[in-house]
Amino acid sequence: MIGCATAYFAELAGLRTVVLEKRPALATLTTPVATGAFRMQFDNAEEVELVRESIAFFDELQQRVDLGLHHQGYLFVTRTATGARTQGELVVAQRQWGLTDVELLDGTETRRRFPYLAGDIINARFRQGDGWLEPRRLALELARQSGATFQTGVTVTDFIWNGDRIRGVITTAGPIEADTVVIAAGPLSGPIATGAGLDLPLVTVRRHKLIIPDLPQVPKDAPMTIDFETGAHWRPAGNGAHALWTASAPAEPPMDDVPTSAAFAFGLLDPRSDHALARIVPFWKEVWTSSRLQWWLQAGQYTYTPDRRPLLGPTVIPGLAVNTGYSGHGIMGSIGGSRRAVDAITGALNPRANPFRPDRAMEDRSFDIL
């Protein structure tokens, strides 16, 4: 996704662009595992603006190409007084950042509008303009429209140097010279950067997606529904649902093939689990006992930075730039982030005006709930 978006904006900026992908096809590592969701309900103004730009782009492109885009909203619900207070404070902050269409609902209004919810929901925040799309459709359409040259099945093995400046890459298909090399390789960005002597502040963490293809209990018009306390969430998908959980997980090395664990599915589906979907939506108890229940799992890796924000633009090594580290927000941040990365490379974006520049000071930030 990020490589294709980078190519799109690079060509738009007048840069002749070659994209190298070591896998046999584009957008086959983390992109198809993503749920494709996007939201503007962030806890900082910079990411609100980043995703605002992406969503506007998605809406415009959807008018010409079917991206499977749905504006069915994001609904964060809480069952605790602490969670309710935090949600209220967050909505106040978001309105100060110009995000005026987030609704704060009390428990009664929440259950009236979303009757599938549990009776002990205290409050919720909801934004109708949030939603999801099919990420690989978006990635391949950006590739098609970019006009860039794409080489698949080609692996970068080293960098070409001229003094202390990178001037291209050595690949399994031969050398390629370039004024700027951009690393946009998701969870594999760190190891590639290490080959240039650059230690990026990245940590990779495994993330699963539970896919249930046939689930009559799920309302097809439901929003992305999130348990604010646990981070467990689900959304409609076809005749079923996708379900996820993004609580803290141990860091692990980047992988080309990420294994799945049945424990992830049981953690979401078993009502006895401390992060069961049934905590906030009772019909998931029926799903658990149904003889029709079938599922499969996919797994990929999030690439986290310490402050949970992406690394966009030139690095301290001349000729080397990055577009990575989206910390789980790669689809929703892809457009705004890639445009900023390219503008930083061309000089259209001053480093002082780039809050995502790779050499910024970073403070550790707790995991965003999604």
With b for 16 or more beta-carbon neighbours within 10 A and e for fewer, the 169-204 pattern comes to: bebeeeebebebbbbbbbbbbbebbeebebebebbb
pLDDT tens-digit readout, 117-141: 999 999 999 999 999 999 999 999 9
What's the pLDDT band for 10 if we cut at 50, 70, 90?
very high
Give the per-residue pLDDT at 247: 76
Give the per-residue pLDDT at 365: 80
Residue 369 reports pLDDT greater than 90: no
What's the pLDDT band for 67 if we cut at 50, 70, 90?
very high
DSSP state of 368: P
Residue 75 reports pLDDT greater than 90: yes
Residue 366 reports pLDDT greater than 70: no
pTM of the model: 0.95
What's the pLDDT band for 172 if we cut at 50, 70, 90?
very high
Residue 345 reports pLDDT greater than 70: yes
pLDDT tens-digit readout, 285-301: 999 999 999 999 999 99
Mean pLDDT of all residues in 58-76? 98
Alpha helix (H) residue ranges in the chain:
2-12, 45-62, 81-96, 107-113, 135-146, 189-194, 262-269, 283-289, 330-346
Residue ranges of domains in the chain: 81-126, 204-304
d(CA 183, CA 190): 9
Residue 367 reports pLDDT greater than 90: no
pLDDT tens-digit readout, 226-257: 999 999 999 999 999 999 998 778 999 999 99
**Cα-only R_g, the chain:** 21
